[in-house]
């Protein structure tokens, strides 16, 4: 049984879908939710689903405390679900090819430092893109540059706002993220 830690900073709708997907799964389970934002919605979602939460600050991420916590809990795979900090090189090296991220655009378009959540959707609309989508990829030491596992596209409509586009993207994320993580684990 693979032990998954989900790291998230926000509302946690993807974290919730991941927890639910693996709740009764024979190959993997979400056993920990790590969060760097006190009061983030993900904390409540995780505790409603009886998954322990680990709250930490940026210092703990950088100085190896988070890494030791993950190793101490026997975590096999780290899944980022709206986690807004750069994963330090030491953690990437400790979990080679075992950290997965989801990004709300068709990378390499609209990725990189500062590109997260609504910032991405604003940039997509400002660039007058006809389509956007999601990218699920492995994490390396640079923002949004690891090997791509899966992409799916959706249209950008003429009257889209960042919020309406985010809603369409979330539907794609909820449909594909748990399944893609599952195929990664079981392949
Ligand atoms: C998701 O759209 C995810 O793709 C994005 O944050 C949102 C979190 O939503 N991640 C990034 O922008 C990472 N660069 P959620 O809290 O409802 O799961």
- Per domain, the residue ranges of the chain are 2-186
Active site residue 110: no
Could you tell me the pLDDT band of residue 12, with boundaries at 50, 70 and 90? very high
Q: Which residues, other chains included, contact 72 with Cβ-Cβ below 8 Å and sequence gap of 6+?
A: none
Atom of ligand 1 nearest to the CA of 9: 16
- Chain Cα centroid distance, residue 26: 22
Q: Is 173 in the pocket of ligand 1 (CB under 6 A)?
A: yes
Report the CATH number of the 2-186 domain: 3.40.50.170
Average pLDDT of the chain, as a whole number: 96
> Residue 145's pLDDT is what?
82
Share of the chain above pLDDT 90, in %: 93
CA distance 20 to 136: 19
For residues 55-76, give the mean pLDDT: 97
Q: Is 105 in the pocket of ligand 1 (CB under 6 A)?
A: no
CA distances from residue 84 to 81, 156, 184 in whole angstroms, order as listed: 9, 24, 23
Polymer length of the chain: 187
Could you tell me the pLDDT band of residue 69, with boundaries at 50, 70 and 90? very high
For residues 44-69, give the mean pLDDT: 97
CA distance 26 to 57: 33
CA distances from residue 169 to 107, 149, 151, 166 in whole angstroms, order as listed: 14, 17, 12, 5
For residues 113-129, give the mean pLDDT: 95
Q: Whose CA is nearest to atom 17 of ligand 1?
A: 13
């Amino acid at each position: 049984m693979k032990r998954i830690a989900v790291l998230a900073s926000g509302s946690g709708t993807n974290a919730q879908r991941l927890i639910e997907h693996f709740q009764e799964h024979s190959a993997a389970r979400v056993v920990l939710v790590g969060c760097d934002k006190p009061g983030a919605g993900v904390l409540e979602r995780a505790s409603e689903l009886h998954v322990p939460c680990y709250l930490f600050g940026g210092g703990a991420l950088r100085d190896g405390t988070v890494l030791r916590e993950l190793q101490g809990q026997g975590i096999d795979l780290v899944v980022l679900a709206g986690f807004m900090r750069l994963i330090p090189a030491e953690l990437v090296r400790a979990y080679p090819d075992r950290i997965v991220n989801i990004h709300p655009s068709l990378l390499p378009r609209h990725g990189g430092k500062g590109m997260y959540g609504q910032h991405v959707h604003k940039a997509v609309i400002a660039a007058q893109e006809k389509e956007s989508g999601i990218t699920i990829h492995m994490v390396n030491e640079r923002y949004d540059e690891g090997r791509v596992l899966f992409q799916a596209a959706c249209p950008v409509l003429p009257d889209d706002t960042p919020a309406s586009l985010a809603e369409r993207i979330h539907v794609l994320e909820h449909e594909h993220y748990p399944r893609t993580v599952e195929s990664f684990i079981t392949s």
